[in-house]
Amino acid sequence: MKIICIGRNYAKHIEELHNEKPKEPVIFMKPDSAVLLKKNPFIIPPFSQDIHYEVEVLVKINRIGKFIDQKFAHKYYDEIGLGIDFTARDLQSRLKEKGLPWEKAKAFDGSAVIGNFYPKDSLDLENIKFQLFKNDELVQDGDSSHMLWKIDELIAYVSQYFTLKIGDVIFTGTPAGVGRVEANDVLKGTLEEKEMFHIKVK
């Protein structure tokens, strides 16, 4: 199982972090050890003082594919989910300043929350509405219509570099509103008003 993450796929999130708008999708990976086990709390790692939540729409790959044509990309997934890409923002900033890879800040143990999945046929993929609540307060309010690169575009693009396999998950990017988590926070993600995950922070 691969976790393929797309960075900078929402314009307002790019602005809030003062990043440059990319000319093509930004890709990074998380290992399977990054997946937060179901019902487990997220434990703030000792190497960071600034862990941020980033809620994202997820796509689960259902067949093997390489060099996928965009017009056929819809055949490679039938489920849409929701998750969190936890990021050690302080560590990421230091790595970026030195031109180093982000893995330590993005791919650490427990950094990938993978919530429930729903059949894609029950959704309007061009207008998926999703939200993240921290302690019952709305902190991120997203809509897939604001993606710079849509799901099928991402699948076609990613498959040029990496063979997609059954069970791989693509994190499609986060909207604006990312922020810090503290011990005892409770994070809840919804997709089309359906709860997809509920995470406690320790």
Of the CATH numbers 3.30.70.2660, 3.40.50.300, 3.90.850.10, 3.30.70.100, which one belongs to the domain with range 3-200? Answer: 3.90.850.10
Q: What share of the chain is helix, strand, coil (3-state, %, to 5)?
A: 25, 40, 40
CB contact set of 171 (below 8 Å; sequence gap of 6+): 3, 4, 5, 6, 56, 58, 83, 85, 112
Per-residue model confidence as pLDDT tens digits over 44-103: 999 999 999 999 999 999 999 999 999 999 999 999 999 999 999 999 999 999 999 999
pTM (predicted TM-score) = 0.95
Q: Which residues contact 31 (CB under 8 A, 6 or more apart)?
A: 3, 107
**What's phi and psi for 97, nearest 5 deg?**
-60, -35
Per-residue pLDDT tens digits for 105-118? 999 999 999 999 99
| Torsion, Cα of 132, 50, 80, 10 (10° steps) | 80
Domains of the chain by residue range: 3-200
